[in-house]
Amino acid sequence: MALFQWTNDLSVNVKEIDAQHKKLVDLINLLHDSMKAGKGKDVMGKVLNDLVDYTVYHFGTEEKLFEKHGYPESQQHKKQHDDLTKQVKEVKSKFEAGQTTISVDVLNFLKDWLNNHIKMTDKRYSGFMNSKGVN
């Protein structure tokens, strides 16, 4: 069973963003599956790199939408993006240096952060973006 299930309550009613959120969910699940299967550091490292890279790409997409449409809470939202990016990069650096492993705690942190961020922060821009014709 997957660690993180996509459900409709995670939708922000913006197709591009929902597709990116689904991809992030898939990457977290792939990292979980790799850990459970006892995959080596190389495989885990590649999946972790993909997750970090795609997270940065996704945040950039959201921030461009904020700028283009004048989203009033963009600065607070970007701060959350910056904080998570820093945390995920720290996990990646420690993993690459052999100082940490990808554990259930790390995976639950990623899952919970994404779930909470979508439901509590991203949902706040949903109506705003839809009112600007972004769906």
9 assigned to some structural domain = no
User: What is the 8-class DSSP label of residue 121?
Assistant: I
pLDDT at 92: 87
3 assigned to some structural domain = no
Chain centroid offset of residue 79 CA: 14
State the average pLDDT over residues 111-133.
94
pLDDT at 42: 76
Sign of torsion, CA 123 128 134 135? positive
State the average pLDDT over residues 92-109.
85
1 assigned to some structural domain = no
CATH of the domain at 124: 1.20.120.50
Q: How confident is the model at residue 19 (pLDDT cuts 50, 70, 90)?
A: very high
Residues in the chain: 135
Please give the single-letter amino acid code of residue 80: Q
List pLDDT tens digits, range 30-79.
Answer: 888 888 888 867 777 888 889 899 999 999 999 999 999 999 999 999 99
Name the pTM for this structure.
Answer: 0.91
Query: Which residue segment(s) compose the domain that 98 sits in?
Result: 14-131
- What distance in Å separates the CA atoms of residue 50 and residue 131, rounded to the nearest whole number? 33
pLDDT at 133: 96
8 assigned to some structural domain = no
- Treating both helix axes as pointing N-terminal to C-terminal, what angle do 123-131 and 41-69 enclose, rounded to 10 degrees? 40
Segments in the chain forming alpha helices (H): 15-36, 41-69, 74-96, 104-116, 123-131
- What distance in Å separates the CA atoms of residue 3 and residue 33, rounded to the nearest whole number? 8
Instruction: Give the CA dihedral 107, 108, 109, 115, nearest 10 degrees.
Output: 110
2 assigned to some structural domain = no
- Residue 72's SS3 state is coil
Number of domains in the chain: 1
